[in-house]
Structure 1
Amino acid sequence: MKLRAARAFDPVANARSRASPLLYRDTQLNADVVKVLPAEYFCTERDLALMTVLGSCVAACIRDPIAKVGGMNHFMLPDGEVTDGVPARYGSHAMELLINELLKHGASRQRLEAKVFGGGNVLKGFTSQPVGTRNAEFVIAYLSNERVQVISQDLGGIHPRKVCFFPVTGRALVKRLPHAHDDVVAAEESAYKSRLQETPVSGSVELF
């Protein structure tokens, strides 16, 4: 199935990810679903569902209810210097990228509304300024500064989440996953931590 939607991929990110969005049919939701991975974002005017799994990461689901266009990002750290061509890993870039893509799709900045999820402190050993808390605080502050209304949020805590967002209708579904058995999310975020440590970052950034 061909997607009439915008996905921003950097060549470097492409080498580590996939060349096109992962689209599949979810029979339980009775919907076509695009999976949004860490450091990615997706924007569409089609009647699709956007799906992601979050640990300490945050996903902002933003839409224009009049233009019926919306999207989701999935960022891993609040901010940092882009040294490897993957700007969407940082909230400061991922938010700007998603909003700009929405505007290209016909959204009006004045009508944008957001639902935000994630920021759970799911990994042990990071109790001082945990990255999940920092991500959650960042996304709320960013949207407030941009005057984008947050109409729903599920942030913080210790549990990872599975999030499904329908950009056309604005419907969002959240499933909190068992903390004790979240091997997949913990392994994914720990692996990303290792890759980040191989790349210089600016400032004092606590990596998860």
Structure 2
Amino acid sequence: MKKFIHVGEIFIGAKPTEISTVLGSCVAVCLYDNIQRIGGMNHYLVPLWNENGLQSPKYGNISIPRLIESMESIGCNRANMEAKIFGGGNVIDVSTEDMMVGRKNILIAKEILREYRIPIKASDVGGDKGRRIMMRSDTGKIFLKYTQKSE
């Protein structure tokens, strides 16, 4: 099975699935439970929900806990989870504020995963390129390809 996720989406591959997404300044957290052999991925746009409007998973501080809880709700155990984080690139040649979004997206991922005591086993974050990533939900393996600015 293949599943492409967009901004604000979370997907848990309870059955073997190739979960993929494309990232610029957005960040994707990939979680894998190495006992249940189940992986999940989110894709968020900005680090913090500012309490205006709906609590959407396009915010890192909503999306990451929801990803963890979704995996736990189907039998995964936080103690067996490991994380890999991707994205947070400075891909658009604009203001320094945009550069900060990517950096803040990376920081919120590290902060929340530390709070939940989930180790980060790998990351490919920052820089000035976009990324295409694909995760195999049954092995936790990640395939990464850098994208050109025009994509």
Contact 2:49 2:55 in 1 (8 A): no
Which residue does 1:37 correspond to in 2? Answer: 6
Q: C-alpha root-mean-square deviation of aligned residues, in Å?
A: 1.3
- Distance (whole Å) between structure 1 residues aligned to residue 115 and residue 24 of structure 2: 25
**Structure 1 residues 102 and 69 mapped into 2: Cα distance closer, same or farther (>3 Å)?**
same
Q: Which has the higher contact order (CA 8 A, sep 6+)?
A: 2
Aligned partner of 1:163: which letter? Answer: I
Runs of 4+ off more than 4 Å? none
1:145 to 94, 102, 115: 115
Counting matched residue pairs gives: 150
Calculate percent identity across the aligned residue pairs: 31
Instruction: Confirm whether residue 163 of structure 1 aligns to residue 133 of structure 2.
Output: yes
Name the structure with the higher strand share.
2
Structure number with greater Rg is 1
- Distance (whole Å) between structure 2 residues aligned to residue 58 and residue 103 of structure 1: 21
- Distance (whole Å) between structure 2 residues aligned to residue 126 and residue 134 of structure 1: 15
- Distance (whole Å) between structure 2 residues aligned to residue 76 and residue 111 of structure 1: 27
Per-residue CA shift, 1:24-62, capped at 9, x if unaligned?
A: xxxxxxxx2101000110112111110100000000000
Which residue does 1:132 correspond to in 2? Answer: 102
Contact 1:39 1:86 in 2 (8 A): no
**Structure 1 residues 73 and 43 mapped into 2: Cα distance closer, same or farther (>3 Å)?**
same
Per-residue CA shift, 1:105-158, capped at 9, x if unaligned?
A: 110011110111000011122224621111112111221222101111000001
2:50 to 69, 78, 81: 81
TM-score by length of 1: 0.69
Aligned partner of 2:103: which letter? Answer: T
TM-score by length of 2: 0.94
Deviates more, 1:130-139 or 1:46-55: 130-139
- The unaligned stretches of length 5 or more in structure 2 are none
